[in-house]
């Protein structure tokens, strides 16, 4: 696990120094490394500045094996306190299947709607799953962000 911790630290430092969105591979590797040890669902938000540089990677909530509670007000509070211009939402599915549930889709819509009012961009909601190989589902790529 020391190797995973070292890789995570390197990616975190690189993410803070460069635009997180510069590479899909960098983003998914970073998120996968952060979720690899998790046995329960964890919802995190990457808070970004105007140049899409990482301000903070904040774990918002930890849940159970099949659910994580997410509070729109807490996501918005973090974004406003840190003057974030954009967000990347992420959570893991310990089952290995990164397909979103209806609850995932509904929660994402609520956050996107709240962010739209505050002029904060939601770049994506990624669901990271693990099976034989790491996989990530992009709600943006699937047309689920409603923009």
Taken in order of first residue, the domains within the chain and their CATH numbers are 1-142 (3.40.140.10)
Whole-number pLDDT of residue 132: 46
- The pLDDT > 90 percentage for the chain reads 61
Distance, in Å, from the CA atom of 136 to the CA atom of 31, rounded to the nearest integer, reads 9
Give residues with Cβ within 8 angstroms of 116, minimum separation 6. Answer: none
The 10s digit of each residue's pLDDT in 23-45 is 888 888 888 887 877 889 999 99
The 10s digit of each residue's pLDDT in 89-113 is 999 998 888 999 999 999 999 999 9
pLDDT exceeds 70 at position 5: no
CB atoms within 10 A of CB 38: 16
The 10s digit of each residue's pLDDT in 56-79 is 999 999 999 999 999 999 999 999
CB 82 within 8 A of CB 48: no
């Amino acid at each position: 696990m020391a190797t995973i911790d070292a890789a995570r630290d390197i990616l975190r430092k690189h993410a803070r120094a460069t635009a997180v969105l510069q590479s899909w591979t960098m983003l998914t590797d970073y998120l996968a490394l952060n979720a690899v040890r998790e046995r329960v669902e964890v919802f995190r938000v990457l808070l970004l500045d105007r140049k899409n540089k990482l301000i903070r990677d904040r774990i918002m909530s930890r849940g159970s094996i099949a659910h994580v509670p997410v509070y729109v007000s807490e996501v918005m509070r973090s974004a406003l306190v840190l003057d974030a211009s954009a967000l990347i939402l992420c959570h893991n599915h310990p089952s290995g299947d990164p397909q979103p549930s209806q609850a995932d889709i509904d929660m994402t819509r609520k956050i996107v709607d709240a962010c739209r009012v505050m002029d904060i961009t939601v770049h994506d909601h990624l669901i990271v799953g693990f099976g034989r190989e790491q996989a990530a589902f992009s709600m943006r790529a699937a047309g689920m962000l409603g923009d």
